[in-house]
Amino acid sequence: MAETNSSEKFKHLSKLEKNILQCISCGDCRELTDNTLDPPNWGVCVAREHTTGFEPFFGRGKMQIIRSLWQGKLELSEDMANVIFQCPTCNACSKACYYGLNTVDYYEALRAELVDAGCALDVHNEMNQGLLENLNPYGQDNAQKKNWLDQLDFTVKDASSEPVEVLYFTGCTAALSAAVQPVAINTAKVLHKLGIDFGVLGGAEICCGSVAMRTGARQVFQEIAEKNAALFQKIGVKTIITSCAGCYRTLKIDYKDMLEGSGIEVMHTVEFLEKYLRENGIQLKNLGIHVTYHDPCHTGRHIGLYEPPRALLRQMATLTEMKNIKEHAKCCGAGGGVKKAFPQLALDIAKTRIQEAEETGADYIVSICPFCDRNLADAIQETGSAMQVKDLLELVEQALE
Amino acid sequence: MTEIQDALEEIESVVGSDYVTDKDFMKAAYSRNVDPAFPDRWADMIVRPSTTEEVSDIVKIANKYKIRMVPRGGGADLVGGSVTQGGILFDMTRMNHIVEVNADDFYCVVECGITWGALVSELHAKGLTTGVLGPGSGYSATIGGGLSNSTAGFGSTKYGLVPDICLGVEVVLPNPEGTILQTGVAANKYAKPFARYGVTPDFTGLFMGDVGTMGIKTKAFLRLAPLPPLRALRYYMLIKNDYNMVSKLLKQLRDKVGDGISDILVIPYPVVRIQAGIAKNKPAKKSRLTGSVFMIGFEAFDQRIIDVYLEQVEEIMTKDGICRSFEMHEIDLDEPLTTDWQFNLKMAFNYFNRFISIVPDMISCTTCHKIPISYIAEAEKKSHDFDAKFHSEFPNKSLSLFATVIYALPNGNCVFVGGFNGYNTEDQQPIAMNLWHKKLRAQVHYGGAHYWLGESISQSIVEAGAYSPEFAAFFKDAKKMVDPNFLLSPEKFHMHQYDEPLSKYEVEDEPY
């Protein structure tokens, strides 16, 4: 039986063996347009919308490729990889699936098979190799991760040497990218203003490994994740917060087995703050601005964190929702290694999202993911839109009396 | 392979190299649809044309090199209709534009690759509707696919089948000239496509339910209706499981309520029990299930009219204690109460998906067909007799349902939406395929009218000897007129070549 050999041949897909044949190929993962729903749902797959649109660019085609591989009818190839990696793994197709197949699990397993077969994209290979060497995917000296702390007028505890109640896991993008550092700075300012006992790892912080996991480099991910899990357990932290949607998904879902029994709770900073402010009766100041909110895929569809950011925004601003929100929200296009390997595709997808944001009449598009922030800002620059991107933490910092 | 390569290069010059591919992983992605019983079929190339003229040019190239062609819409069919072993597979979903919505004269012009979900969503926002909302797979099914398969779906009880709303098509004939035609009154080159009949014989009908054998539809002209703003839904459960009573009630509803009802779906008793069993959110107290459930949808422009319809239906259904009011909420807490129910397309377009793979990795071999409503009990019995007689030939653990739903259509007929499920693996496919054909032939023999023909059902009709020699000759002559090189969708209807009688494929079946 071909399937028996496949179990040995495809070690990543074999973990999903039970449901590989369940995709009925209905194609609802292609567009599923329905304005009679509340919220309405216009289209599903941003990758299909911005590519040539052949079936492998959306869910059903990928699932048929996986089935064909599994049944021994097809071989992995670089051509295949070039298409399979043009997907931001936003998981919209999963939400469209009547049978609830968690499609991203299959795509990531297929990516892992491609990587193991030597079909990875060169740019991803370089990035993941650099991640192992530098402990961040940006090819920078990891010690620089502490530099943003110099911009604060207070001291933040070093969680690697002092006990803290809350570890703020900064993430590589906010720590190392000058344009996105305000996310880290504002997060720290907010925590400081609220008197929360928190610390950071600074130069000792290791990338969460999201980029490796998303691009199929599972060996790299495993190595990185094990280092992190050991570090978290060593410092004895019980609550980890992060202002990065990618780190959040990775630490909460991909580390689940490794952190099991450790008692560590992983929260997005926004989730943590909304709860904290609510429980302590702290009201945010209304900033008198008009905003719309972009749900990052990793906080939204991957985990279901929809209401806390909106609850905070409604206190601070007038919130007008876009046409596609929550589980139907359109991806910004940056995730899944797309920004790295296919920057134009990422930009094209983001431009569509900005257009949708403009239709609300809002002045600001707010999000809670440095990676989304960056890609959306690139699209604004490209299109000359008057809209501005704000990270929610920046607004919270301004709105805390 | 040289000819295929030459053709590929010429097609590249028509659509651009980005929109035609012969890569293996692409072919694999297009190698099957929902159907479980067919082996994978790999086209030689897949092309995504964007205009009617491009389709015509590709047809000319296919004729030049004598390469077979199959058009594919949403690829959501269950009967092997839109795959091809070798040849050119047309992925029509790039032709997905709404060309015109004429709200004054109630028609629209669309490219055939647009999905029902996209079109209906757009129309509803404008207060318009196609009435029949396309097939149950409508989120992903295209207008072209709906026309080529003469499908029914939500709204069909009132508005009829998909071809009933078709005012004409633009079609590319598969001949060496790649002829482009417009049918309906649009055959008058001075006329807008506002009506179907007039100007010529009804050549539109030649392309309805043709499963892509007579031409490649590129545009459709569709009748529109104002969208009734008010809707209601009611369920009734039969106190006794009696299919003769189902027929009687369907007739009474037709007699006394008529157009107030947009949909009547009868969920057979066994299916009601299955739904209760697979419900994710079951109530603590089990509901007493006694018979089939009528799901009745209403629509109107005035609340008073809806109220009259509701009263009339209540009287018919509950008279003499034949039925009781029922709520799906009684078996599945995720289902809304009818008083809270609001129409959305998700319900219309996801309703049938639940039955396609009730058991993971088994997929339905569909046997959907129409019968007169007076024949429901007899057809149900025949289906059971067939299943009992050929029990040993079914795939292991297969679940056979004479109908997952009985869907009422206008003029006293209904669809038995049914089938049995088979495994999605190569070793099991022949088992399912043999039994599938046999069951379809049995349904043809009792007078069932299949409409969603694809390859498996169209061939089964021929195998059952349904066509007289005169009809078969007429059919072939018509096909030969539009497709002299016999390139478009071969295999369907067992038309493998022109000089072969269809009677060659007739199968003598064991009585049951």
Q: Does B34 touch chain A (CB under 8 A)?
A: yes
Q: Cα distance from A164 to chain B (closest Cα, Å)?
A: 42
Candidates A3, A19, A74; nearest CB to B28: A74
Which of B124, B139, B425, B429 is best to mutate for the A interface (most A CBs within 10 A)?
Answer: B139
Residues B32, A99: C-beta atoms closer than 8 Å? no
> What's the pLDDT score for residue B225?
97
Quick check: B337 pLDDT over 50? Answer: yes
- Using DSSP's 3-state secondary structure scheme, residue B363 falls into strand
CA distances, B63 to each of B68, B83, B175, B485, B488 (Å): 8, 19, 7, 7, 10
HEC readout, B378-395 = HHHHHHHHHHHHCHHHCC
**Closest C-alpha among A28, A17, A46 to residue B34:** A28
Q: Which residues in A lie closer than 8 A to residue B18 (C-beta atoms)?
A: 52
Q: Which residues in B lie closer than 8 A to residue A36 (C-beta atoms)?
A: 121, 124, 343-346
Kindly report the pTM of this predicted structure.
Answer: 0.95
- Rounded distance, CA B58 to CA B49, Å? 9
> What's the pLDDT score for residue A193?
97
Residue spans of beta strands (DSSP E) within B183-331 = 216-223, 225-226, 230-238, 261-267, 293-300, 323-326
Which of A16, A48, A54 is best to mutate for the B interface (most B CBs within 10 A)?
Answer: A54
Contact A4, A71 (CB under 8 A): no
Q: Does B31 touch chain A (CB under 8 A)?
A: yes
- Rounded distance, CA A313 to CA A394, Å? 11
Quick check: A249 pLDDT over 70? Answer: yes
Candidates A28, A34, A99; nearest CB to B344: A34
> What's the pLDDT score for residue A3?
55
- Rounded distance, CA B150 to CA B161, Å? 6
pLDDT-derived band at A4, boundaries 50, 70, 90: low
* Interface contacts A/B by beta carbons within 8 Å: 144
Report the pLDDT averaged over residues B160-172: 97
Amino acid (1-letter code) at residue B460: S
Report the pLDDT averaged over residues B80-105: 97
- Residue B306 dihedral angles phi and psi, to the nearest 5°: -55, -45
- Rounded distance, CA B165 to CA B346, Å? 22
Q: What is the pLDDT of residues B193-221, one digit of tens each?
A: 999 999 999 999 999 999 999 999 999 99
Q: Which residues in B lie closer than 8 A to residue A58 (C-beta atoms)?
A: none
Candidates B34, B346, B425; nearest CB to A37: B346
Q: Cα distance from B426 to chain A (closest Cα, Å)?
A: 9
Distant-in-sequence, close-in-space partners of B284: CB < 8 Å, separation ≥ 6? none
- Rounded distance, CA B201 to CA B474, Å? 16
Q: Which residues in B lie closer than 8 A to residue A62 (C-beta atoms)?
A: 29
**What are A's interface residues with B at a Cβ cutoff of 8 A?**
1-3, 18-19, 21-22, 24-28, 30-37, 40, 42, 52-56, 60-62, 64-65, 68, 71, 73-75, 77, 79-80, 83, 96, 98-99
H/E run at residue B71: strand B69-72
pLDDT-derived band at A108, boundaries 50, 70, 90: very high
- Rounded distance, CA A21 to CA B362, Å? 8
The token pair at B331 is: 């078996």
A338 exposure class (CB count in 10 Å sphere: 0-12, 13-18, 19+): buried
How much is the mean pLDDT over chain A? 95
Q: Does B278 touch chain A (CB under 8 A)?
A: no
Amino acid (1-letter code) at residue B150: S
> What's the pLDDT score for residue A333?
97
Q: Which residues in A lie closer than 8 A to residue B140 (C-beta atoms)?
A: 26-28, 30-32
Name the H helices within B102-173. 116-125, 143-148, 156-159
Tally of CB atoms within 10 A around B399: 16
Q: Does B344 touch chain A (CB under 8 A)?
A: yes
Tally of CB atoms within 10 A around A150: 6
The token pair at A399 is: 């709105």
Q: What is the pLDDT of residues B339-394, one digit of tens each?
A: 999 998 988 888 777 778 877 778 889 999 999 999 999 999 999 999 999 999 99
C-alpha A173 chain-centroid distance: 12
Q: Which residues in B lie closer than 8 A to residue A27 (C-beta atoms)?
A: 74-76, 137, 139-141
B393 exposure class (CB count in 10 Å sphere: 0-12, 13-18, 19+): middle
Residues B345, A71: C-beta atoms closer than 8 Å? no
B427 exposure class (CB count in 10 Å sphere: 0-12, 13-18, 19+): exposed
B348: left (phi over 0), alpha (psi -120 to 50) or beta: alpha
C-alpha B17 chain-centroid distance: 33
Q: Cα distance from B512 to chain A (closest Cα, Å)?
A: 32
Predicted ipTM of the assembly: 0.94
- Rounded distance, CA B60 to CA A58, Å? 30
- Rounded distance, CA B305 to CA B345, Å? 23
How much is the mean pLDDT over chain B? 94
Which chain B residue has its CA at the smallest distance from A59's CA? B29
Q: Does B357 touch chain A (CB under 8 A)?
A: yes
HEC readout, chain A = CHHHHHHHHCCCHHHHHHHHHHCCCCCCCCCCCECCCCCCECCCCHHHHCCCCCHHHCHHHHHHHHHHHHCCCCCCCHHHHHHHCCCCCCCHHHHHCCCCCCHHHHHHHHHHHHHHCCCCCHHHHHHHHHHHHHCCCCCCCHHHHHHHHHHCCCCCEECCCCCCCEEECCCHHHHHCCCCHHHHHHHHHHHHHCCCCEEECHHHCCCCCHHHHHCCCHHHHHHHHHHHHHHHHHHCCCEEEECCHHHHHHHHHHCHHHHCCCCCEEEEHHHHHHHHHHHCCCCCCCCCEEEEECCCCCCCCCCCCCHHHHHHHHHHEEECCCCCCHHHCCCCCCCCCHHHHCHHHHHHHHHHHHHHHHCCCCCEEEECCHHHHHHHHHHHHHHCCCCEEEEHHHHHHHHCC
> What's the pLDDT score for residue B231?
95
Candidates A26, A36, A77; nearest CB to B25: A77
Tell me the HSE value of B165 on the side-chain side, using a 13 A CA sphere: 28
The token pair at A12 is: 């990543």
Report the pLDDT averaged over residues A243-269: 96
**Closest C-alpha among A208, A151, A156, A215 to residue A183:** A151
H/E run at residue B90: strand B88-91
Report the pLDDT averaged over residues B144-167: 96
- Residue B379 dihedral angles phi and psi, to the nearest 5°: -65, -35
**Closest C-alpha among A137, A96, A121, A314 to residue A224:** A137
The label of the residue with tokens 């890569």 reads B23
The token pair at B341 is: 């129910």
CA distances, B154 to each of A130, B9, B146, B158 (Å): 55, 43, 13, 9
Q: Cα distance from B181 to chain A (closest Cα, Å)?
A: 28
Amino acid (1-letter code) at residue A66: I
The token pair at B213 is: 């054998």
pLDDT-derived band at A195, boundaries 50, 70, 90: very high
H/E run at residue B372: strand B369-372
Distant-in-sequence, close-in-space partners of A300: CB < 8 Å, separation ≥ 6? A306, A326, A327, A329
Determine which of A101-115, A176-190, A200-214, B360-374 has the lowest per-residue pLDDT on average.
Answer: B360-374
The label of the residue with tokens 């609830």 reads A100
List, in sequence order, every residue forming a beta bridge with B401; answer none if it has no partner: B419
- Using DSSP's 3-state secondary structure scheme, residue B375 falls into helix
pLDDT-derived band at A1, boundaries 50, 70, 90: very low
Tally of CB atoms within 10 A around B123: 22
Q: Which strand ranges, in their side-by-side order, compose the sheet holding B88-91?
A: B20-21, B45-47, B88-91, B69-72
Q: Cα distance from B340 to chain A (closest Cα, Å)?
A: 14
Rg (CA), chain B: 23
Residues A26, B19: C-beta atoms closer than 8 Å? no
The token pair at B429 is: 């496919």
Q: Which strand ranges, in their side-by-side order, compose the sheet holding B166-172?
A: B98-102, B107-111, B216-223, B166-172, B180-182
- Residue A337 dihedral angles phi and psi, to the nearest 5°: 85, 5
H/E run at residue B400: strand B400-409
Residues B25, A79: C-beta atoms closer than 8 Å? yes
- Rounded distance, CA A345 to CA A350, Å? 9
Which chain A residue has its CA at the smallest distance from B24's CA? A74
Residues B29, A31: C-beta atoms closer than 8 Å? no
> What's the pLDDT score for residue B1?
60
> What's the pLDDT score for residue B465?
97
Q: Cα distance from A369 to chain B (closest Cα, Å)?
A: 31
Candidates A22, A32, A99; nearest CB to B139: A32
Q: Does B25 touch chain A (CB under 8 A)?
A: yes
H/E run at residue B26: helix B24-29
pLDDT-derived band at A191, boundaries 50, 70, 90: very high
- Rounded distance, CA A283 to CA A200, Å? 26
B499 exposure class (CB count in 10 Å sphere: 0-12, 13-18, 19+): exposed
Q: Does B228 sit behind a cis peptide bond, omega within 30 degrees of 0 on the bond before it?
A: no
- Rounded distance, CA B24 to CA B22, Å? 6
C-alpha B248 chain-centroid distance: 26
Report the pLDDT averaged over residues B314-320: 96
Q: What is the pLDDT of residues A381-399, one digit of tens each?
A: 999 999 999 999 999 999 9
Report the pLDDT averaged over residues A62-67: 96
Quick check: B169 pLDDT over 50? Answer: yes
Q: Which residues in A lie closer than 8 A to residue B139 (C-beta atoms)?
A: 26-28, 31-34, 96
Report the pLDDT averaged over residues B120-135: 95
- Using DSSP's 3-state secondary structure scheme, residue B211 falls into coil
Q: Which residues in B lie closer than 8 A to residue A53 (C-beta atoms)?
A: 48, 93-94
Residues A74, B75: C-beta atoms closer than 8 Å? no
Contact B264, B407 (CB under 8 A): yes
